[in-house]
Structure 1
Amino acid sequence: MDSPWDENPENSTHNDIEWSRISSEFTNVGYREGITAGKEAASQEGFDAGFANVGVPIGRELGLLRGTSSVVLAFLKSSADIDEKAQMLTEAQEISSQLSRVRFSDIMPRDIEAEEHAREHLEAEGIELDMNEVIADKREVEGLEDMLANLSAYNGKSKEKHARPTIDDVQCLKDRLRLLTNRLDLGIAWS
């Protein structure tokens, strides 16, 4: 019985070739798995950093503003018998309405480094990334969402087109809400 490990010169050459082929395949598979594991680890690390340093703080801030405006609005609706509170109710309704239009994508800072990194990788793979096309598609969907929101909010007043809110707009709304809560003496601690 011939064993592939016999010291026969014929088998030795065949074994060396086979060993080289298997070794090469394992090396290639190991390399690909290492690259994949490295990408996953870097992706997870990037996600964790983005989530903790960008997503959570911005989302939390926007959520707190919306929640506070809802509480102020509810408080004023239950006690809008005084003219001064009626004016504050109108202000609270406007702030709440404007905050409801803010999307995370409106106020999230652009990650230029990540965009450039993605573009480089796609180009290396022979895929051309037309950011204008991607952005245009996203804006088209957002435009449809805005149209739907305007349809439901339309109450016979003029249908003027509103620009998307910015981080500065949100800061202005926060300042207005802070003034309103201070006037009502609600004891809300602002950061």
Structure 2
Amino acid sequence: MDSPWDEEVSNESYNRESQWQKIASDFTNAGYRDGITAGKEGVLQEGFDSGFANTGAPLGREIGRIRGIASALLALLSKGSSIPHSPSTTNELRDISFKLSEIRFSDICPPDLEAEAHAREHMQAEGEELVMDSEELEDRKQVESLEDMLAGMSASGAGRGKPQRPSMDDFNVLKSRLEVVIGQMGLQIHLS
């Protein structure tokens, strides 16, 4: 004989089993999401570390070193140093220092072609348009654009149109000019 209690026990077992399956599914999904997130973070960190170690830090260090040498030499000459030099040497150092100060890291940093290709591939696979700019990057570009406009309004930039940003080639030319000035001053400072 079946009792009404048997039906209640059966429903309770079903509810417990159903809840157990939902909890197991939720934990599996959460674990999967956490695994994906951890994987992405690991790859991002690895990419950042590589970019910083192989590009960012060495390039930033080189720019800083060359700017520092040019500024130190200019300060030394401006303070009446006994180092033999002509007024044209001081003017040349001023020009080099000024032009070095206008170079931004973003001007000379090589583009990450592999990352751009990967992003294009990913976006095309999902049928989305490629959007490479984050809000922060867009803000920075707007500030740099304003800086460029202000530079174009100065007396030296009047009538030139949109100013041309310096490139790595420009940086190397300035570095070569600095080497020549250092040689003319009879100093032994190695820039490389």
Q: Which TM-score band (shorter chain)?
A: 0.7 to 0.9
Q: Indicate the residue corresponding to 1:66 in structure 2.
A: 67
Counterparts of 1:82 and 1:54, CA distance in 2: 36
DSSP-derived class of the 2:86 partner: helix
Counterparts of 2:36 and 2:16, CA distance in 1: 30
Q: Indicate the residue corresponding to 2:158 in structure 1.
A: 159
Counterparts of 2:10 and 2:181, CA distance in 1: 93
Distance 1:127 1:17, change over 3 A: same
Counterparts of 1:86 and 1:13, CA distance in 2: 94
Moved more, 163-172 or 67-76: 67-76
How large is the RMSD of aligned CA atoms in angstroms?
A: 3.2
Moved more, 14-23 or 41-50: 14-23
Q: Indicate the residue corresponding to 1:112 in structure 2.
A: 113
Counterparts of 1:158 and 1:12, CA distance in 2: 82
Distance 1:129 1:88, change over 3 A: same
Q: Indicate the residue corresponding to 1:144 in structure 2.
A: 146
Distance 1:144 1:69, change over 3 A: same
1:124-179 alpha-carbon deviations (Å, 9 max, x no partner): 667533459x998765532211233455xx4x556253411010010010011011
Counterparts of 1:25 and 1:181, CA distance in 2: 68
Q: Indicate the residue corresponding to 2:21 in structure 1.
A: 20
Q: TM-score, normalised by structure 1?
A: 0.79
Aligned residues: 181
Q: TM-score, normalised by structure 2?
A: 0.78
Fraction of identical pairs, as percent:
47
Equivalent residues in 2 for 1:52-131, closer than 5 Å: 52-79=53-80, 85-121=86-122, 128-130=129-131
Counterparts of 1:171 and 1:28, CA distance in 2: 53
Distance 1:31 1:124, change over 3 A: farther
1:93-145 alpha-carbon deviations (Å, 9 max, x no partner): 1111111110101000000221233345556667533459x998765532211
1:53 Cα deviation (Å)? Answer: 0.7
Contiguous gaps of at least 5 residues in structure 2: 1-8
Moved more, 40-49 or 134-143: 134-143
Counterparts of 2:120 and 2:14, CA distance in 1: 47
1:185 Cα deviation (Å)? Answer: 2.1
DSSP-derived class of the 2:130 partner: coil
Q: Which protein, 1 or 2, shows the higher relative CO under an 8 Å CA cutoff with sep ≥ 6?
A: 2
1:78 Cα deviation (Å)? Answer: 2.7
Moved more, 17-26 or 41-50: 17-26
Contact persistence 1:66–1:99 (CA under 8 A):
yes
Counterparts of 1:35 and 1:146, CA distance in 2: 42
Q: Indicate the residue corresponding to 2:5 in structure 1.
A: none
